[in-house]
Structure 1
Amino acid sequence: MQRRRMAGTIAVVSALGMTAVLGGCGVTGGSADVTLKLVAADYGDSAANSSKKYWDGLVEEYEADHPGVKIDVSVYSWNDVDRKVREMVAAGDPPDMAQIGAYADYAAQNQLYKADDLLSIPVQADFVGQLASAGQVKGVQYGMPFASSTRVLFYNKTLFAKAGITPPKTWDDLADDAEALKDEGVKYPYALPLGPEEAQAETMQWMLSGGGGYADTVGSYGIDSPENIDTFSWLKNELVGKDLTGPVAPGELNRAAAFAAFAKGEVGMLNGHPSLMKIAAKNGVEYGMVPTPGKEGTSKSTLGVADWMTAFRKNGHRDQVGDFLDFVYSEKNVLAFSREYDLLPVTSSASQTMAASGRDRHLKPFLEELPASELYPVGKTSWAGISVQVKKQIGKAVAPSGSPSGVLGHLQAVATRAESAE
Structure 2
Amino acid sequence: MKKKENSSSDGPEKLAQDGKTVSFFDKKVTRREALSTAGKAAIVVGAAVVVGGGAYAAYNVLQPAKPKVVSLGFTAWDYAVSTVQGNIDKFQTLNPNVKVTMTNFAYSDYQSSMAQRFTAGTPTHVTYDGEDWLAQWASSGWVVPLQDYWDRFQTKKKFSDYVSDMVPFARDSMTYKGKIYGLPYYSDTFNLMYNNKIFADNGIEVPKDWTDVTNAALKLKTGGMKFPYLQSFQGLSPFD
State TM-score, norm by structure 2.
0.55
Q: Counterparts of 1:56 and 1:75 in 2: how far apart (Å)?
A: 11
Match for residue 207 of structure 2 among 191, 209, 220? 209
Q: 1:236 to 1:59 in 2, by over 3 A?
A: same
Partner of 1:175 in structure 2? 198
Q: 1:93 to 1:152 in 2, by over 3 A?
A: same
Q: Counterparts of 1:149 and 1:66 in 2: how far apart (Å)?
A: 31
Q: 1:172 to 1:55 in 2, by over 3 A?
A: closer
- Tell whether the 8 Å contact from 2:207 to 2:213 is kept in structure 1 after alignment: no
1:118 has 2:155 as partner: no
How many corresponding residue pairs? 164
Match for residue 130 of structure 1 among 141, 156, 169? 169
- After superposition, the C-alpha distances for 1:125-159 in whole angstroms (9 at most, x for unaligned) are 322122212322221112432321211146xxxxx
- Tell whether the 8 Å contact from 1:41 to 1:81 is kept in structure 2 after alignment: yes
Match for residue 35 of structure 1 among 37, 58, 71? 71
Q: RMSD over aligned Cα, in angstroms?
A: 3.6
**SS of alignment partner, residue 82 of structure 1:** helix
Partner of 2:180 in structure 1? 141
Give the structure with higher Rg (CA): 2
Where do residues 148-297 of structure 1 align in structure 2 (5 Å cutoff)?
148-153=187-192, 173=196, 175=198, 209=207, 211-213=209-211, 227=212, 230-236=215-221, 241=225, 249-250=226-227, 255=232, 259-260=235-236, 267=240
Partner of 1:103 in structure 2? 134
Q: Counterparts of 1:59 and 1:209 in 2: how far apart (Å)?
A: 44
- After superposition, the C-alpha distances for 1:258-299 in whole angstroms (9 at most, x for unaligned) are x4456xxx63xxxxxxxxxxxxxxxxxxxxxxxxxxxxxxxx
- Tell whether the 8 Å contact from 1:81 to 1:100 is kept in structure 2 after alignment: no
Partner of 1:56 in structure 2? 85
Residue 123 of structure 1 and its aligned partner are, at CA, apart by: 2.2
Residue 33 of structure 1 and its aligned partner are, at CA, apart by: 0.9
**SS of alignment partner, residue 64 of structure 1:** helix
- After superposition, the C-alpha distances for 1:148-203 in whole angstroms (9 at most, x for unaligned) are 1211146xxxxxxxxxxxxxxxx66252799xxxxxxxxxxxxxxxxxxxxxxxxx
1:85 has 2:110 as partner: no
- Tell whether the 8 Å contact from 1:41 to 1:78 is kept in structure 2 after alignment: yes
Partner of 2:39 in structure 1? none
Q: 1:174 to 1:134 in 2, by over 3 A?
A: farther
Partner of 1:47 in structure 2? none
Q: Counterparts of 1:88 and 1:229 in 2: how far apart (Å)?
A: 36
The one-letter code sitting in structure 2 at the alignment partner of 1:113 is: V
Residue 85 of structure 1 and its aligned partner are, at CA, apart by: 1.3
- Tell whether the 8 Å contact from 2:221 to 2:227 is kept in structure 1 after alignment: no
More strand by share: 1
Which fold has the larger relative contact order, with Cα–Cα distance below 8 Å and residues 6 or more apart in sequence?
1
**SS of alignment partner, residue 145 of structure 1:** coil
Unmatched tracts of structure 2, length 5 or more: 1-63, 152-157
**SS of alignment partner, residue 112 of structure 2:** helix
Unmatched tracts of structure 1, length 5 or more: 1-27, 44-50, 155-170, 179-207, 214-226, 242-248, 268-422
Residue 37 of structure 1 and its aligned partner are, at CA, apart by: 0.6
